[in-house]
Amino acid sequence: MARNRKGAIAASMAAVALLVAACSGSGGSTDDPTDPTAAPGDGTSETSDAPAEQTITWWHNATGEPLVSFWAQVGQEFADANPGVTVDVQSFQNEELQRTLIPNALLSGDAPDLFQQWGAGELAAQVAAGHVKDISADVADEIAALGAVANPWQLDGKTYGLPYTFGISGFWYNTELFAQAGITSTPKTLDELYAAIDKLKTAGITPIAVGAGDGWPAAHYWYHFALKSCSPEVLQQAQAELVFDDPCFVKAGELLGEFIASEPFNEGYLATSAQQGAGSSAGLVATGKAAMELMGHWNPGVMGGILTEEAGEDVSPPEWLGWFNFPGIDGAAGDPNAVLGGGDGFSVHADAPPATVDLLKYILSDDVQARFAEAASSIPTAPGAADAVTDPNLQLVLEGLQNATYVQLWLDTAYGPTVGGAMNDAIVNFFGGSGTPQDIVDAIKASVETL
């Protein structure tokens, strides 16, 4: 018995020692000098010709094919061309990545070197906490080529990331259902849109699908009405100083109220998600159960993905898909050529190995950008790759972007997660029948107070 107990004591001690070792072993970052994967010259020199061992961890938000394979391939190509460099490419679901994984990784000190960046409000918080590298000097050529679409990734004249895709929001619609309802031309004004909605309803077709369950797809309607009601100066001031005193923001809610009152949306839209499966708003349009959806430029890719999942084989986006810009409103105060849009970009972590910036430059190269445009059915940011956009709808989107006199970033991204989230909530509540246009503005102001 006594001997047994001694053995047990020894075993317990060993277990405790292991536990302690395990605890103290975690939390090591890539800067750990004992970490064999860390580069010897980490963060010291930008132009190390000696093939130093570097591992670049790259987190992106693509979860559907072919984009996942495409990014993995780009990482491999870069590693092959740069001896000593390994690229660890990892893909995560967008909202998880944005709201949980990246903030936690930044806080824990074990952050990825190249990571998804949505820009503006969120970027500002990360920069203030010292997590993001200022790459202004390294990517001067790219910034010059990209032009205005790089703005959301800049802060006080410094660049903290670059977008690899940027597009604008508009109505994606089913040309066959429009023809069936007797709509001969796409709506150019709000009144024409109302007329189209009536015709679709008369034909027994659900006019618009909206994924209000996810919040932002519903909120985009308010953003568009704000864009039509507010001058670019007011919008710029709102973004820079978070001031919402101009009555045009209340006007946006009034216009939205009239729009909701015309009952254009799918049944149960408050619980509809935007992109997940055939029951989502994108799925409803893709499967011909609703005629249109107000959505970003990524929508053909999302619809193709949903149809592929449903069919179990590779299906391209529907051929009957058409696109038109959000219609103008007669007599509205906003810039009629203003557009609402956004993009996806990457930022370099402050402690990333030097080759990370080169990887970002490679991603932004005309060649990779052109292949990205094809792989993702999306819009690249590098002007040299614009010819790769062959889809007629995306050409329309690109044209809309090029003709715009003012480009407003998605308002929730522009104002950051706290204010943006409260704004989206208030707008969804308004969609759900509670609250007034003034309540939306009040909720935004109240959330600014909590920053």
Q: To the nearest whole angstrom, how small is the minimum distance from the Cβ of residue 231 to other proteins?
A: 29
- ∠ CA 226-232-235, nearest 5°, is 55
Taking residues 11 to 50 in sequence order and writing x for each that binds other proteins by CB under 8 A, - otherwise, the string is -x--xx--x---x---------------------------
Q: To the nearest whole angstrom, how small is the minimum distance from the Cβ of residue 204 to other proteins?
A: 7
SS3 50: coil
Q: To the nearest whole angstrom, how small is the minimum distance from the Cβ of residue 286 to other proteins?
A: 11
SS3 155: strand
Q: To the nearest whole angstrom, how small is the minimum distance from the Cβ of residue 92 to other proteins?
A: 15
Q: Which is nearer to other proteins, 15 or 195 (CB)?
A: 15
Determine which residue in the list 431, 440, 444, 448 makes contact with other proteins, applying CB under 8 A.
431
Q: How many CA atoms lie within 13 A of 294 on its CB side?
A: 23
Taking CB under 8 A as the rule, does residue 272 contact other proteins? Answer: yes
Taking residues 139 to 178 in sequence order and writing x for each that binds other proteins by CB under 8 A, - otherwise, the string is ----------------------------------------
Contacts of 248 (CB under 8 A, 6+ apart): 226, 229, 230, 231, 234, 333, 334
SS3 404: coil
Q: To the nearest whole angstrom, how small is the minimum distance from the Cβ of residue 448 to other proteins?
A: 13
Q: Which is nearer to other proteins, 267 or 319 (CB)?
A: 267
Between β-strands 85-91 and 154-155, what pairing exists: parallel, antiparallel or unpaired?
unpaired
Q: To the nearest whole angstrom, how small is the minimum distance from the Cβ of residue 351 to other proteins?
A: 15
The answer to whether 27 touches 109, Cβ cutoff 8 Å, is yes
Taking CB under 8 A as the rule, does residue 275 contact other proteins? Answer: no
In the region spanning residues 72 to 101, those forming contacts with other proteins, defined by CB under 8 A, are 99-100
SS3 293: strand
The answer to whether 99 touches 93, Cβ cutoff 8 Å, is no
Going by C-alpha positions, the residue among 140, 175, 165 that lies closest to residue 154 is 140
Between β-strands 162-168 and 338-348, what pairing exists: parallel, antiparallel or unpaired?
antiparallel
Rounded Cα distance, 283 and 285, in Å: 5
Rounded Cα distance, 408 and 414, in Å: 9
Rounded Cα distance, 155 and 211, in Å: 32
Taking CB under 8 A as the rule, does residue 51 contact other proteins? Answer: no
Q: Which is nearer to other proteins, 155 or 407 (CB)?
A: 155
Determine which residue in the list 6, 7, 9, 336 makes contact with other proteins, applying CB under 8 A.
9
Q: To the nearest whole angstrom, how small is the minimum distance from the Cβ of residue 12 to other proteins?
A: 6
Determine which residue in the list 129, 140, 148, 243 makes contact with other proteins, applying CB under 8 A.
129
Determine which residue in the list 322, 429, 439, 442 makes contact with other proteins, applying CB under 8 A.
429
Rounded Cα distance, 235 and 250, in Å: 13
The answer to whether 362 touches 74, Cβ cutoff 8 Å, is yes
Determine which residue in the list 112, 213, 301, 343 makes contact with other proteins, applying CB under 8 A.
213
**What count of other Cβ atoms lies within 10 Å of the Cβ of residue 44?**
9
Taking CB under 8 A as the rule, does residue 205 contact other proteins? Answer: yes
Rounded Cα distance, 289 and 305, in Å: 17
In the region spanning residues 237 to 266, those forming contacts with other proteins, defined by CB under 8 A, are 266
In the region spanning residues 280 to 339, those forming contacts with other proteins, defined by CB under 8 A, are 284, 287-290
In the region spanning residues 406 to 425, those forming contacts with other proteins, defined by CB under 8 A, are 416-418, 421-422, 425
Taking CB under 8 A as the rule, does residue 222 contact other proteins? Answer: no
Going by C-alpha positions, the residue among 399, 373, 400, 360 that lies closest to residue 165 is 373
Q: Which residues bind other proteins (CB under 8 A)?
A: 9, 12, 15-16, 19, 23, 99-100, 103, 106-107, 122, 125-126, 128-129, 131, 204-206, 209, 212-215, 266-272, 277, 279, 284, 287-290, 416-418, 421-422, 425, 428-429, 431-432, 434, 450-451
